[in-house]
Amino acid sequence: MALLHSFENSGNWLFKRRGQIPLVLFLFAVPAVYFTDYNSFSPVWNHLINYTAVLLSLLGFLVRAYTIGTTPRGTSGRNTENQVAESLNTSGIYSTVRHPLYLGNYLMWIGIVVFTHNFAFVIIVSLFYWLYYERIMFAEERFLERKFGQSYLDWSLKVPAFLPRWSSFRKSDIPFSMKSVLRREYSGVLATVIGFVYVEILMGWFRFGTLSIGIKFMYVLGISIAMTLVLRTLKHNSKILSEEGRS
């Protein structure tokens, strides 16, 4: 098999399993937290790292939210069976970066990784993420090239794959829809909150031998669970969040 086809096949295989990355992070967070010397961080540094972690994850959510909120039906989905693209997005955030959802995913999860205070873990996860998603992005781009031909090639030559070029931003052709965000992003938000809570529990256990959660984390987790239940119920049992022409 030619290397080109091997990359594409492995990318498609990983594409179907890309939702399993959080499970890997949860597993490797255990030794990352265990081997981190938290006593070496001053209170100021501790707060700075915590706020940076939260801001990174929030930025990732905003990237995903804007992407989801400005794309039509048949694109930028959570599908795992095969590649889907009924149209080629080239405006809005897609005028600055070719894979904004994967950029958003990285920021959301690297925020949790930063929260461990283990900077070697941050580097390892970043490298792992790139190697994992590079194959997926390769397979997606092969699919888009075959489907849209020269239009895709012309766009891809001007727009970077992962690091946005904000100077080339062009307003989205699709109006922003908060309904799309509410309908499709609640599970990702809950997963991110659970990630932070999980690391908080690990730190408490390895540092103090107690299984406890700070009051702020309890409030955030409770609100996230409640919102998820409400939005999931509305999505599956009503048409309140439904929209014509949106996935």
User: Could you tell me the pTM of the whole model?
Assistant: 0.88
Residue 24 has pLDDT above 60, yes or no: yes
> What residues contact residue 166 under an 8 Å CB cut-off, 6+ apart?
96
What's the number of CA atoms in the CB half-sphere (13 Å) around residue 147? 13
pLDDT of residue 4: 63
Instruction: State residue 174 phi and psi, 5-degree precision.
Output: -105, 125
What's the CA angle centered on 135, arms 132 and 138, to 5 degrees? 145
Average pLDDT over residues 177-194: 93
pLDDT of residue 7: 66
Cβ proximity of 195 and 221 under 8 Å: no
Q: Which of 4-8, 110-114, 150-154 has the lowest mean pLDDT?
A: 4-8
Cβ proximity of 16 and 81 under 8 Å: yes
Per-residue 3-state assignment (H helix, E strand, C coil) for the chain: CCHHHHHHHHHHHHHCCHHHHHHHHHHHHHHHHHCCCHHHCCHHHHHHHHHHHHHHHHHHHHHHHHHHHCCCCCCCCCCCCCCCCCCCCCCEHHHCCCCHHHHHHHHHHHHHHHHCCCHHHHHHHHHHHHHHHHHHHHHHHHHHHHHHCHHHHHHHHHCCCCCCCHHHCECCCCCCCHHHHHHHCHHHHHHHHHHHHHHHHHHHHHHHCCCCCCHHHHHHHHHHHHHHHHHHHHHHHCCCCCCCCCC
65: left (phi over 0), alpha (psi -120 to 50) or beta: alpha
Condensed to tens digits (0 to 9), the pLDDT of residues 91-101 reads 899 999 999 99
Give 218's pLDDT tier (boundaries 50, 70, 90): very high
Between 18 and 37, residue with greater pLDDT: 37
Return d(Cα 135, Cα 95) in angstroms, integer: 22
Q: Which of 10-14, 22-26, 99-103, 213-217 has the lowest mean pLDDT?
A: 10-14
Average pLDDT over residues 105-121: 96
Average pLDDT over residues 162-173: 91
Residue 10 has pLDDT above 80, yes or no: no
Between 60 and 214, residue with greater pLDDT: 60
According to DSSP, the residues that pair with 170 across neighbouring strands are 92
- Pull the structure tokens for residue 229: 């239940």
Distance between alpha carbon 77 and the CA centroid of its chain, in Å? 12
Return d(Cα 117, Cα 94) in angstroms, integer: 33
Residue 77 has pLDDT above 60, yes or no: no
Instruction: Spell out the domains of the chain, with CATH numbers in brackets.
Output: 3-176 (1.20.120.1630)
Q: Which of 56-60, 170-174, 184-188, 209-213 has the lowest mean pLDDT?
A: 209-213
Return d(Cα 86, Cα 213) in angstroms, integer: 45
pLDDT of residue 81: 52
